């Protein structure tokens, strides 16, 4: 089953001082990049390590600064503090640009706390193994946009923690609760690869935390596909109002018939917003689903479009247009 909710938080929070400031009035100078810093392991750039490039950016920066990362495997823990917004981390592509770590349980490879961060063309991996939390990335800042990135781990691969986040054409791999958190996120055309060994127990893709019906958080997956080995549930509840929607997603046969699990929130099933809308593939047959999954006619799917769910104020229109 993995860590219970309280233990999951404890094992991760002790490693990070967290200061989140939602809604800071920063537009990063519109869609213009003012400075480019090159990172290259062979010394053909300003820095050899990604963290050193981040550290070189002035605190409370309010203009887009791009850190371009040349191909290589960068073995380091990366931390973007809350007072360094308006940063773009751009790899050459997610196959050749890899950030890797995993020397002990509950050490996150990559942490991003500030608002207005863009990630592109990078794979973040935690190689610790399957014996506990193996977080590849923690994303906490509002208005974070992630394009063509990979997230590789086992349990708790991607901590989609807080804020509004947009994931486009990403690859996310894990076995238990490997997309989890309290963020308000839209995943478009992403590939989810479930690797849970069914001989041990079934896996779970999502563990979304939402404590009340008034909270805007939730995960929406539109398009993309779920593949992998073993068997996996679409999600389990991490909070009494957990919310996850799969929309026009291809579900392979790795998806278990029941689909969802109430976990420690039995008795709150009618509060969950778990739904599948216009999905396809052998795993999309909802005949065996839990009875409390929402039917498509019980939700207004237009409320979960990209523009309605995370982009009502148009923040995605204000990022450098090379990403859209």
**CATH code for the domain in which residue 245 is found:** 2.160.20.10
Positions annotated as catalytic residues are 177
Residue 277 has pLDDT above 80, yes or no: yes
Q: Using the predicted structure, report yes or no on whether residue 103 has a pLDDT greater than 80.
A: no
Within-domain flag for 306: yes
> Does some domain include residue 324?
no
Residue 220 inside a domain? The answer is yes
Residue 84: inside a domain, yes or no? Answer: no
| Tens digits of residue pLDDT in 35-49 | 999 999 999 999 999
How high is the pLDDT of residue 264? Answer: 96
Domain count, the chain: 1
Per-residue pLDDT tens digits for 214-236: 999 999 999 999 999 989 999 99
Q: Domain limits at 304?
A: 175-312
pLDDT of residue 131: 75
How is 95-150 classified by DSSP, letter by letter?
Answer: TTEEEEE-SSTT--SEEE-SSSEEEES-EEEE-S-SSSB--SEEE-SSSEEEES-E
298 belongs to a structural domain? yes
Is 3 inside any structural domain?
no
Q: Is-contact 29 64, C-beta < 8 A? A: yes
């Amino acid at each position: 089953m993995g860590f219970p909710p309280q233990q999951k938080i404890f094992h991760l929070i002790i490693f990070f001082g967290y200061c989140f400031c939602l809604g800071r009035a920063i537009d990063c100078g519109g869609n213009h990049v003012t400075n480019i810093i090159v990172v290259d392991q062979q010394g053909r750039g300003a820095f050899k390590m990604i963290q050193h490039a981040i550290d070189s950016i002035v605190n409370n920066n309010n203009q887009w600064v791009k850190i371009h990362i040349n191909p290589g495997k960068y073995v380091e823990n990366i931390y973007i503090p809350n007072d360094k917004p308006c940063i773009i981390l751009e790899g050459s592509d997610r196959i050749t640009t890899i950030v890797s770590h995993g020397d002990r349980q509950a050490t996150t490879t990559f942490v991003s706390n500030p608002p207005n961060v863009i990630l592109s063309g990078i794979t973040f991996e935690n190689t610790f193994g399957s014996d506990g939390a193996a977080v590849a990335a923690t994303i906490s800042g509002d208005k974070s946009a992630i394009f063509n990135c990979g997230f590789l781990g086992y349990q708790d691969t991607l901590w989609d923690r807080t804020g509004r986040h947009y994931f486009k054409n990403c690859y996310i791999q894990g076995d238990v609760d490997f997309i989890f958190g309290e963020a308000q996120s839209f995943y478009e055309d992403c590939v989810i690869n479930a690797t849970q060994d069914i001989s041990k127990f079934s896996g779970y893709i999502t563990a979304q935390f939402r404590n009340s019906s008034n909270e805007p958080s939730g995960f929406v997956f539109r398009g993309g596909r779920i593949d992998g080995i073993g068997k996996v549930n679409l999600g389990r509840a991490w909070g009494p109002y957990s919310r996850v929607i799969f929309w026009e997603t291809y579900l392979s046969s790795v998806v278990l018939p029941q689909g969802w699990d109430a976990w420690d929130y039995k008795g709150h099933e009618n509060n969950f917003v778990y739904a599948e809308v216009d999905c396809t593939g052998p795993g999309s047959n909802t005949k065996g689903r839990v009875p409390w999954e929402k039917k498509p006619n019980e939700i207004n799917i237009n409320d979960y479009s990209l523009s309605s769910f995370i982009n009502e104020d148009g923040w995605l229109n204000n990022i450098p247009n090379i990403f859209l």
